[in-house]
Chains A and B, each alone.
Chain A
Amino acid sequence: MELTLWTYEGPPHVGAMRIASSMEEVHYVLHAPQGDTYADLLFTMIERRKKRPPVTYTTFQARDLGGDTAELVKRNIREAFDRFQPKALLVGESCTAELIQDQPGSLATTMGLDVPIINLELPAYSKKENWGASETFYQLVRGLLINQSKENIQHDPSSWQKEGRKPRVNLLGPSLLGFRCRDDIIEIKKILNEYEIEINLIAPLDATPSDLLKIPKADLNICLYPEIAETTCSWIERNFGIPFTKTVPIGIGATKDFLDEVHHLLEKENKNQIKINSRLPWYSQSVDSNYLTGKRVFIFGDGTHAIAAARIAKEELGFEVVGIGTFSREMARKVRSVAKELGLEALITNDYLEVEKAIKESSPELVLGTQMERHSAKRLGIPCAVISTPIHVQDVPARYSPQMGWEGANVIFDTWVHPLMMGLEEHLIGMFRHDFEFTDGHQSHLGHLSRNEEKNSENTDNHLQTSSQENQELLIWTQEGKAELAKIPYFVREKVRKNTEKYARQAGCRQIDSETLYDAKVHYKDK
């Protein structure tokens, strides 16, 4: 049993709903009690969908449990089939139905319905949403293609050349409740088009079951979101020989690598140099971006976006990554290896309070996280940009706002840097606050920061004592030392305080004055 105040992922059947709702002509009969219908609002409210998710909930009640719930399941399957006439029917259960073991999927197959039935078994007490989405997509693709497989296992990646046509690729993984999928596919389509590569199909978003039957016609699968599509891509590779891409094109470097990988897998020569059609490199290089150098960033999100963010932060913006983690256990290994390269230990957790604690401890100047980290960062007074699900209504903006490709890199530059600019502005205001122009309540959008700052300085004494007591070693900050500390920008003050105290202990100082601060500064610079 695990105490959860808030969770990054929903249950696995919500993942299944994401696949069903992303597609056309698919219906999902979900054996579940009435309360589970809340999940509809994720699609109609957060994603602002104009259609109800194609889901029929059996909504069994306590009084049904003594009777024949299997009959109830069949009635709902029959009604849903008659009413919606789907071309593929997903049948599964939520957490409660799993306990009563009606096996709705097996029931459905005995009903003689003229439709492919996909029996979804998604263990609700051990798995989560992304896994459920991945499994559902895989079961659906497998269910529809199983009869075709093995026939044309001899895949020739360059057959397009022999057939005198453009190469064709599938874009796999974009789904509802994913992060900016809607715009990512537009961007990727556009880029591939520039390299004379055709899109065979996109799935699950907006695809029909008959579209999925065309999957084997592609020369290459593009695995856009490994969380959702990797299992499916590797099944297709095993059964049809179609390879798939491993690079997720988020950021300049990754988009470039992605295009190289696509060309390589298609055995396609790229006659022209890859043209980087983004403003990010120049904006990052321009002199006014100097202040970004070495900015401390903390990264947390789903695996794909966290890994991409780390690379962009380090290689393309010149930040220093001081923490990285993910809530996705399935991606833990990949995130760990990225963390290791950065000399960090990855934080793999579903507990947002643990993430908040890690943020606090690493004193970043920018947090790249989920909407939850946005709230945590706000409490800590640190600027934040959102890079990952769980989805929030703000993550479905009206404007075109991809994360992938060249335009995605532009969007990322703005999204990450703007909160920092505001942070810097805040700092300048802090520096100039004694000038007469600024004396009265001048605040940028991070209005709470200056309030926090005042509060903090009022509490400085208590705070300093507490920290000393904790360590059972009495360190005394002189008035002068405190005054010097107060001059340090708020976002690094805590870090400086800790380092100075650590240094003072090592050096055997009992009193910390301004000189100790400078000594500590030099001490840590040398390292």
Chain B
Amino acid sequence: MSGATLLKETGPREVFCGLTSIVWLHRRMPDAFFLVVGSRTCAHLIQSAAGVMIFAEPRFGTAILEERDLAGLADAHDELERVVQNLLKRRPEIRTLFLVGSCPSEVIKLDLSRVAEKLNIALQGSVRVVNYSGSGIETTFTQGEDGALKALVPLMPESQEEQLLLVGTLANAVEDRLITLFNRLGINNVKSFPPRNSIDLPAIGSKTKVLLTQPYLTDTARELNARGAEIIEAPFPLGVEGSSLWMEAAANAFNVKDILLDEILEPLILRAKAAIKPYREKLSGKKIFLLPESQLEIPLTRFLRNECGMIPIEVGTPYLNKEIMKAELDLLPSDIRIVEGQHVENQLDRVREQKPDLVVCGMGLANPLEAEGISTKWSIELVFSPIHGIDQAADLAELFARPLYRHDLLNNKQLSYA
């Protein structure tokens, strides 16, 4: 077990709520619709975080609670059914409807599971209705995906076939590449969850081995485990080290011979390390401070420290699940300062004191820090970019090197005109 310094902090936080994960989930499953049951704030949050205007009709929306919905819950349930029926009439292509709970719906105790149940009976299987909570009083940012996936687990059919199940949303191209690599290792039955179509849910059973692609799927992992699946313990597939250990863990679980594993991975590792080298030169020795948001902070720190030579000053994380993070923490030395939770003002004081070269933070904080001369990287970019796997390691390093290059470029006072 690592001796990393684990601290806790409470106070005002500056993080997105779980609703935000709809922004990538709806792209992953184009036949699904995410209906937030909430307030105008929820609607405004999602449209501010996602480029909603580019869609003729987006595959997510908000059933906005109004004064009269707060007055009587029974009516609110009926109202929601009415809204859903209207929506489905207009959008016949929807196969799965997610009813997404929000802060206000949780506080007034709107029973979305009951509404989902009633709708499922009424719709007779033409559309599947599930529910989960993306509320900010219970979830942070990426945890919304955990809730959505957990809600789908009971719908997964049973199978006793041996298979590798990759769990967590990946960019399609990255997913294809990773599956190709597993195939080369002789692991041929590889499925993904969430699937690219919400109705093509993978089957699951005691011979299913789960490899998590993302570090924020605690509840989903627990549910999959309860359905008999084995969760393979591994670090997360970020960077060369994480990705190769991740693949190795799967290889071991499927009894792939070491010699084959080496044969497949070695050239990829060599190539990736060479590709990282120029970025490592830029990043090495630079101080980095990660504010809590995406839950990717610990794996990213491991990559940036171990492979890019950066010096982590502080690693914020919205919450810390030591079980899921164990393999990651084992790869970090004891002097890393990990802070769970947040007091945003105190944390920003520490940022200013420590003068890091790069801060990973949310969009609300980035420009004010830039204006103070501190380079930043938005954490939301990390959940949208294809960064997983050995072949993406250099791209991941480049994401962090770019603000530093840019800083140099714009602050270079000695422009030469050769």
Interface residues of B in 202-219 (CB under 8 A from A): none
Interface residues of A in 274-330 (CB under 8 A from B): none
Contact string against A for B residues 64-81, beta-carbon threshold 8 Å, 1 for contact and 0 otherwise: 111101100000100110
Interface residues of B in 48-89 (CB under 8 A from A): 48-49, 52-54, 56-58, 60-67, 69-70, 76, 79-80, 82-83, 86-87
Q: Are A34 and B107 in contact (CB under 8 A)?
A: no
Q: Are B136 and A33 in contact (CB under 8 A)?
A: yes
CA–CA, A45 and B19, complex, Å: 20
CA–CA, A181 and B86, complex, Å: 40
Q: Are A34 and B13 in contact (CB under 8 A)?
A: yes
Interface residues of A in 67-106 (CB under 8 A from B): 76, 79, 83, 94-96, 99-100
Q: Which of A4-12, A142-150, A213-221, A256-264 is found at the contact surface with chain B?
A: A4-12
Contact string against B for A residues 40-71, beta-carbon threshold 8 Å, 1 for contact and 0 otherwise: 11101100111110001111111011000000
B45 contacts across to A, CB distance below 8 A: 35-36, 38-39
B41 contacts across to A, CB distance below 8 A: 10-11, 13-14, 36, 94-96, 124
Q: Which of A265-273, A371-379, A423-431, A453-461 is found at the contact surface with chain B?
A: A371-379
CA–CA, A52 and B19, complex, Å: 23
Other-chain residue from B44, B70, B87 in contact with A3 (beta carbon distance below 8 A): B87
The total of chain B residues at the interface (CB under 8 A) is 64
A10 contacts across to B, CB distance below 8 A: 40-41, 44
Q: Are A4 and B61 in contact (CB under 8 A)?
A: yes
Q: Are A1 and B367 in contact (CB under 8 A)?
A: no
A422 contacts across to B, CB distance below 8 A: none
- Chain A CB within 8 A of B12 CB: yes
Contact string against A for B residues 184-212, beta-carbon threshold 8 Å, 1 for contact and 0 otherwise: 00000000000000000000000000000
CA–CA, A34 and B135, complex, Å: 9
- Chain B CB within 8 A of A210 CB: no
Most buried by A among B63, B70, B107: B107
Residue of chain A at shortest CB distance from B37 = A1
Residue of chain A at shortest CB distance from B348 = A52
Q: Are B63 and A83 in contact (CB under 8 A)?
A: no
Interface residues of B in 7-44 (CB under 8 A from A): 11-20, 35, 38-44
Most buried by B among A37, A76, A123, A372: A37
Other-chain residue from B35, B39, B87, B368 in contact with A95 (beta carbon distance below 8 A): B39
CA–CA, A84 and B350, complex, Å: 17
Q: Are A124 and B39 in contact (CB under 8 A)?
A: yes
CA–CA, A52 and B63, complex, Å: 30
Q: Are A99 and B107 in contact (CB under 8 A)?
A: yes
Other-chain residue from B44, B82, B104 in contact with A14 (beta carbon distance below 8 A): B44
- Chain A CB within 8 A of B265 CB: no
CA–CA, A59 and B342, complex, Å: 10
Q: Are B83 and A3 in contact (CB under 8 A)?
A: yes
Q: Are A41 and B364 in contact (CB under 8 A)?
A: yes
CA–CA, A11 and B40, complex, Å: 6
- Chain B CB within 8 A of A18 CB: no
- Chain B CB within 8 A of A194 CB: no
B38 contacts across to A, CB distance below 8 A: 95
Interface residues of A in 172-214 (CB under 8 A from B): none
Residue of chain B at shortest CB distance from A75 = B11
Interface residues of A in 21-43 (CB under 8 A from B): 33-42
Q: Are A3 and B61 in contact (CB under 8 A)?
A: yes
Q: Are A7 and B43 in contact (CB under 8 A)?
A: yes
Supposing A1-B65, A5-B57 touch, asked if A34 and B17 sit within 8 A by C-beta, the answer is yes
- Chain B CB within 8 A of A2 CB: yes
Q: Are A44 and B363 in contact (CB under 8 A)?
A: yes
Supposing A41-B364, A45-B363 touch, asked if A34 and B136 sit within 8 A by C-beta, the answer is yes
Q: Are B17 and A44 in contact (CB under 8 A)?
A: no
- Chain A CB within 8 A of B140 CB: yes
CB distance from A497 to the nearest CB of B (A): 23
- Chain B CB within 8 A of A128 CB: yes
Interface residues of B in 267-299 (CB under 8 A from A): none
- Chain B CB within 8 A of A471 CB: no
Q: Are A1 and B70 in contact (CB under 8 A)?
A: no
- Chain B CB within 8 A of A126 CB: yes
Q: Are A35 and B136 in contact (CB under 8 A)?
A: yes
Residue of chain A at shortest CB distance from B144 = A35
Supposing A3-B87, A61-B137 touch, asked if A33 and B70 sit within 8 A by C-beta, the answer is no
Interface residues of B in 328-382 (CB under 8 A from A): 345, 362-368, 371
Interface residues of A in 340-398 (CB under 8 A from B): 353, 371-372, 375, 379
- Chain B CB within 8 A of A400 CB: no
A interface, how many residues as a size bin?
35 or more
CB distance from B391 to the nearest CB of A (A): 31
- Chain B CB within 8 A of A125 CB: yes
Q: Are B66 and A52 in contact (CB under 8 A)?
A: no
A128 contacts across to B, CB distance below 8 A: 40
Residue of chain A at shortest CB distance from B63 = A1
Residue of chain B at shortest CB distance from A353 = B57
Residue of chain B at shortest CB distance from A125 = B67
Other-chain residue from A2, A34, A83, A100 in contact with B140 (beta carbon distance below 8 A): A34
- Chain A CB within 8 A of B103 CB: yes
CA–CA, A60 and B12, complex, Å: 8
Q: Are B47 and A44 in contact (CB under 8 A)?
A: no
Residue of chain A at shortest CB distance from B45 = A38
Q: Are B52 and A6 in contact (CB under 8 A)?
A: yes
Other-chain residue from A41, A51, A62 in contact with B137 (beta carbon distance below 8 A): A62
CA–CA, A94 and B366, complex, Å: 24
CB distance from A243 to the nearest CB of B (A): 35
Q: Are B65 and A125 in contact (CB under 8 A)?
A: yes
Residue of chain B at shortest CB distance from A374 = B53
Supposing A37-B14, A62-B138, A95-B103 touch, asked if A49 and B367 sit within 8 A by C-beta, the answer is yes
A58 contacts across to B, CB distance below 8 A: 12
- Chain A CB within 8 A of B264 CB: no
- Chain A CB within 8 A of B6 CB: no
Q: Are A95 and B137 in contact (CB under 8 A)?
A: no
A76 contacts across to B, CB distance below 8 A: 12
Residue of chain B at shortest CB distance from A123 = B67
- Chain A CB within 8 A of B233 CB: no
- Chain A CB within 8 A of B106 CB: yes
Other-chain residue from A1, A4, A37, A94 in contact with B79 (beta carbon distance below 8 A): A1
CB distance from A386 to the nearest CB of B (A): 12
- Chain A CB within 8 A of B108 CB: yes
Q: Are A1 and B66 in contact (CB under 8 A)?
A: yes
CA–CA, A96 and B371, complex, Å: 33
A36 contacts across to B, CB distance below 8 A: 41, 45, 136
A-B contact pairs, 28 of them (CB 8 A): A1-B63, A3-B35, A3-B62, A3-B83, A4-B64, A5-B62, A6-B53, A6-B58, A10-B44, A34-B140, A36-B136, A37-B15, A38-B17, A38-B45, A38-B364, A40-B14, A41-B362, A44-B364, A49-B367, A50-B367, A56-B12, A56-B345, A59-B12, A62-B135, A95-B41, A96-B103, A96-B136, A123-B67
3 closest Cβ contacts across the A-B interface?
A35-B17, A35-B136, A40-B364
A interface residues with partner B (beta carbon < 8 Å): 1-7, 9-11, 13-14, 33-42, 44-45, 48-52, 56-62, 64-65, 76, 79, 83, 94-96, 99-100, 123-126, 128, 353, 371-372, 375, 379
